[in-house]
Amino acid sequence: MHLRPILLSVLTSIFYIASSAAPPKYVFLLIGDGMGINQVAATERYHAALDSGRIGREPLTMTQFPYMALCHTYSLSNGVTDSSAAGTALATGNKTANGVLGMDSTRTGTLTSIAELAHKSGRAVGIVTSVSIDHATPGAFYAHVPSRKHYYRIGEQLAASGFEFFGGADFLQPTGKHNDRRHLHHILADSGYTVVKGLTEYQSIDSVPGKIFLTQADGRGNRQLRRSRSSLPYAIDRTLDDLTLPQITDAAIRYLDATGRGFFLMVEGGAIDWACHSNDAATAFAELSDFDTAIAEAYRFYLSHPDETLIVVTADHETGGLALGNSDYALHFDMLSSQQCSQTELSKIIAEACSRSAGWDDIRTILSDRIGFWRYIELSDQDEASLREAYDRTMGGKNGKVANEYSDDDIIAVTAIGILNKSARCGWTTGAHSGAPVGVYAIGCGAEQFTGVIDNTDIPRRIASISGY
């Protein structure tokens, strides 16, 4: 009767001895911004549905990892966290107030991140994201500022961090809020960084001396986004000459591994959150799949160093309150495959057409070409009437924009993507974040410590203790 618990505790001790005897030399923390459990499940269901409408799931890399935990994300100040408080919790193991980055809620005390601890203990450190490198999630690992909006200060702290590798979109305010400060690329150069731009230079990254700042080529990214928040292009919109998150992850792994010192690498899939703020499922699923491809890069490295590597994947919070189903016990996710571009890109195309006084038939052609309306997807009279109303509103000179967190999208595009999501049975409850718990997926040295119901602050504390930082 008592054999099983004893056996279990013996096994646990063996695991503990094994993990404490050999801390991992290589640690990955991969964070899907806004990637709730339903975003993960829906992406798997979507890929199964693409396979001739099959009901089922096509497992992602992360969900095949052997250990999983459920993680709560609330901040010190809010039941629903923002990315800076959540990033701070995941980086430092301490909760803080929404809006604060790498500091306590009094905005005076500095909190140390696991990236800084790893660096102090001799590991090479890399920070990678698909959005701007000074955004809240990456920033939480190297910066300490009272407000996440102090972008120039965050950039200065990046240069001063001494971390070996940074990769992602560029700085939001490279010359400061009022364009009167020294360009951050010059400060980076003074601190021993080489700025490497775009796909061509990425391919020769192995020959670059010193520390690296890898970003997309000039003029790339979601340029029309409000407040100049830059990012790599969405996976659904990009062209073959765009730099991708998996490529930056691959570059970081190769570069950090070559130091021979072991490494800590944080990778953020930052735009999953942005697509979910827009309630744009097809774009979110493509972005999440792209992030999973970056996870597969880490997994490939793990396979050649299985006894020395820990991979932990999680999210900072859920965005959009996504539900699988909205009415009739059916999912029609296969419909989403007719969407060929993001809502943001569709907005740009429609706004350009409207500025040339496009007729309703021209708009219908765009919606048919880009998201399959009337061609693959039948619309009800009510749906068509609401699209026509949005068109008349725009052409009548009224405000034709719908603002959300990261973009001002055209009302016709927003209405169309809303109709498509409703038809596919994706339910969205908010254009903001939600307080839903998120998943933690782990494999490798010490991964067995990531089970049960945990708090976001437990993740860096456990990584630091497993890794001996």
Find the part of the chain contacting Zn ion (CB under 5 A) among 107-115, 270-278, 373-381, 408-416: 270-278
- With CB under 5 A as the contact rule, the residue among 257, 273, 292, 383 that binds Zn ion is 273
Closer of 250 and 273 to Zn ion (Cβ): 273
Q: Whose Cβ is closer to Zn ion: residue 94's or residue 137's?
A: 137
Between 102 and 270, whose beta carbon lies closer to Zn ion? 270
**Residues in contact with Zn ion, shown as a per-residue x/- string from 318 to 357 under the rule CB under 5 A:** ----------------------------------------
Smallest distance, Zn ion to C-beta of residue 406, A: 8
Asked if 44 touches Zn ion (CB under 5 A), the answer is no
How many residues touch Zn ion (CB under 5 A)?
Answer: 1
Per-residue interface string for the shown chain with Zn ion, residues 4-43, x marking contact by CB under 5 A: ----------------------------------------
Please report, as residue ranges, which positions from 98 to 157 form the binding site for Zn ion (by CB under 5 A).
none
Point out the residue whose Cβ comes nearest to Zn ion: 273
Rounded to a whole number of angstroms, the minimum distance from the CB of residue 165 to Zn ion is 25
Closer to Zn ion by CB, 164 or 273: give it.
273
Query: Whose Cβ is closer to Zn ion: residue 164's or residue 318's?
Result: 318
Q: Which stretch binds Zn ion (CB under 5 A): 113-121, 265-273, 330-338, 359-367?
A: 265-273
Q: What is the CA radius of gyration of the chain?
A: 23
Q: State the residues that interact with Zn ion by CB under 5 A.
A: 273
